[in-house]
Amino acid sequence: MIIAAVLLVSNQAFAQSQGGLADLFGNLFSGSNSSPPPAAAAGDGSAPPWSGEDGASGHPLMTAAAIRQEAANFDNCVASMWPDAARRNVTRENFERFTAGLTPDLRIMDLLDSQPEFTKAIWDYLDILVNDNRLAKGREILAKYKAQFDAAEKTYGVDRYAVAAIWGIESNYSTQMGDRSVVQSTATLACIGRRQAYFKDEFLSALEILNRGDLRPEQLRGSWAGAFGPTQFMPTAFKRYAVDGDGDGRRDVVDDPTDLIASTANNLKKDGWQTGQSWGYEVVVPKDFNYMLADRAKPMTLAQWQQLGLKRANNQPFPQPATKAYLLAPAGAEGPGFLMLQNFRVIMKYNPAEAYALAIGHFADRLRGGPPFVQPWPRQERVLSRVERLELQQLLAQRGFYRGTPDGQIGGQTREALRSFQASIGTPADGFATSDMLERLRAR
């Protein structure tokens, strides 16, 4: 479900990163962002065409020659998937109907393999997504569909504010859902480019949805990677989680609010949502804290964190001290800290970006009537360019701290290496990639 950042991760995580939102922002913590590379705009004002260039990943299937070769074979590729569709009980008539006249959308190749120069800082991301207009609209949605939220909360035990937050952030409450044909997009990606096996399943699942009659072809429109509807389901996720909330025989997550709310809640529930628990807490981290403990793989109870000097930013006690959480410091020692509970991990299953999950959790709290974050962000820090991020990784590797392949993306392995370097020079080992850290690496 979700935002269209191109994350170089597992298939499951890739499924959760393909929608409309990250066309703007991407995964802030991996350094990925799906803003497309420059391309000449079409003269008629439509979307720009494919750039005709090799993809930035260097994958052999993303060369311009390979893309042209597979595009020329597109009709044969689509036709070859009929036996697989038949095994999924798609009728021959519907297969021909839904694939008739299908052509590849090669512009998607630029979006699949984009390598942006800059990313947004997390505070800019939150400023844009959690704003007064979106909060006002969210409160209207909660009031308008109170009965549907009541029913879903009772059935699935999932916080209505979390569901409303996902709806608001994924599509700005159904106003920004994407307008590409899901069948065309997934067929393109199933036949062309470096993720064909993954997208073949998405394409066939889209055909199943149409064959069953849950949605009409004109409803099945969304992002370039096939995410659709107000909460941006991928076709395979729809199959796993969509429910018929109002009993009309269809699972309409596009235009039926009952099905939409129930299906999104069911998704969170099946991913492990814990009823009555928060997603996490903003905390004040004491000076001289050992940030090597700020690691998703190092959870402790809230009581243990409190013993280490962490306290809630609003000075309130932790409601359930025995609950386990991990510490996230997304802007390093100069920014706020957060203790993340199980429900934060669940939101990250919906979309595997810490910035996204933090935005959802915070937006849900604001919809509930909670205040903005208490502590300031280090807004004076400049976001590193991709070239600078690549140099930082290369320098960390030269000094024996980084063992991955430098790619200009700041993920967990890079943050761990940076923390080790910071510890070696006696600075807070917070893993925050700043221009100052880059300069210190250059100087050594």
Task: Please report the pLDDT score of residue 46 as a whole number.
Answer: 56
Q: What does DSSP assign to residue 40?
A: P
Tokens representing 204?
């066939």
- Whether 53 and 31 have beta carbons less than 8 Å apart is answered as no
Per the listing, tokens 């409160």 go with 139
Q: Is the pLDDT of residue 33 over 80?
A: no
Look at residue 1 in the predicted model and tell me its pLDDT: 55
pLDDT: which is higher, 379 or 42 = 379
The pLDDT tens digits for 87-109 are 999 999 999 999 999 999 999 99
For the cut 50, the answer to whether the pLDDT of residue 3 exceeds it is: no
Q: Where are the alpha helices (DSSP H) in 308-411?
A: 342-350, 354-367, 386-398
Average pLDDT over residues 107-127: 89
**pLDDT band at 24; cut points 50, 70, 90:** very low
| 38 DSSP assignment | P
Q: Check residue 409 and give its pLDDT.
A: 86
For residue 396, pLDDT over 80 is answered with yes
Tell me what pLDDT residue 342 has.
Answer: 98
Rounded distance, CA 178 to CA 103, Å?
19
Question: Looking at residue 57, what is its pLDDT?
Answer: 85
| Cβ partners under 8 Å of residue 317, min gap 6 | none
pLDDT-derived band at 341, boundaries 50, 70, 90: very high
Q: What is the 3-state secondary structure (H, E, C) of 181-208?
A: EHHHHHHHHHHCCCCHHHHHHHHHHHHH
Tokens of 208: 């199943």
- d(C-alpha 226, C-alpha 233), whole Å: 8
Question: What pLDDT sits at residue 39?
Answer: 37
Q: How confident is the model at residue 379 (pLDDT cuts 50, 70, 90)?
A: very high
Residue 9 has pLDDT above 70, yes or no: no
Mean pLDDT (the chain, rounded): 90
The answer to whether residue 119 scores a pLDDT higher than 90 is no
d(CA 308, CA 299): 13
Domains and their CATH numbers in the chain: 11-42+50-116+177-270 (1.10.8.350), 386-443 (1.10.101)
Q: Is 82 exposed, middle or buried (0-12, 13-18, 19+ CB in 10 A)?
A: middle
Q: What whole-number distance in Å separates Cα of residue 416 and Cα of residue 431? A: 6
pLDDT band at 204 (very low <50, low <70, confident <90, very high): very high
Contacts of residue 16, defined as CB under 8 A and 6 or more positions apart, other chains included, come to: 1, 2, 234, 237, 349, 350, 351, 352
Strand partners, 180: 222
Local confidence band at 410 (pLDDT 50, 70, 90 cut-offs): confident
Per-residue confidence (pLDDT) for residue 47, from 0 to 100: 62
Q: Is the pLDDT of residue 45 over 70?
A: no
d(CA 149, CA 407): 43
pLDDT in tens, 231-284: 999 999 999 999 999 999 999 999 999 999 999 999 999 999 999 999 999 999
- Average pLDDT rounded to a whole number, residues 112-123: 84
The pLDDT assigned to 38 comes to 35
| Nearest C-alpha neighbor of 371 from the set 326, 313, 317 | 313
Is residue 369 pLDDT above 90, yes or no?
A: yes
- Determine the Cα–Cα distance for residues 22 and 17; give it in Å rounded to an integer: 8
Residue 48's pLDDT band, with cuts at 50, 70 and 90, is confident
Helices 257-270 & 146-156 angle (0-180, nearest 10): 30
**Residues 25-46, mean pLDDT to the nearest whole number:** 38
pLDDT over 80 at 58, yes or no: yes
Q: Cα torsion for 219, 220, 221, 224, to the nearest 10°?
A: 170
* CA separation, residue 7 to residues 31, 68, 121, 315, 432 (Å): 9, 24, 17, 37, 20
Q: By the 8 A CB rule, do 245 and 262 touch?
A: yes
Residue 291: its pLDDT value, please? 95
* SS3 (DSSP) at 56: coil
The answer to pTM > 0.85 is yes
Q: Which two tokens stand for residue 63?
A: 């060369």
CB 250 within 8 Å of CB 213: yes
Q: What is the pLDDT of residue 21?
A: 55
| pLDDT over 80 (residue 30) | no
Q: What is the pLDDT of residues 281-315, one digit of tens each?
A: 999 999 999 999 999 999 999 999 999 999 999 99
Confidence of residue 224 (pLDDT cuts 50, 70, 90): very high
Q: Which residue has the higher pLDDT, 231 or 14?
A: 231
* One-letter amino acid for residue 164 of the chain: A
Over the stretch 320-330, which tens digit does the pLDDT of each residue have?
A: 999 999 999 99
Any idea what DSSP says for residue 148?
H
Residue 122 near residue 28, CB atoms below 8 Å: yes
Which 3 state secondary structure label does DSSP give 195? coil
Summarize the confidence of residues 407-434 as an average pLDDT: 92
Residue 22 has pLDDT above 60, yes or no: no
CB 272 within 8 A of CB 342: yes
* DSSP-derived secondary structure letter, 374: S
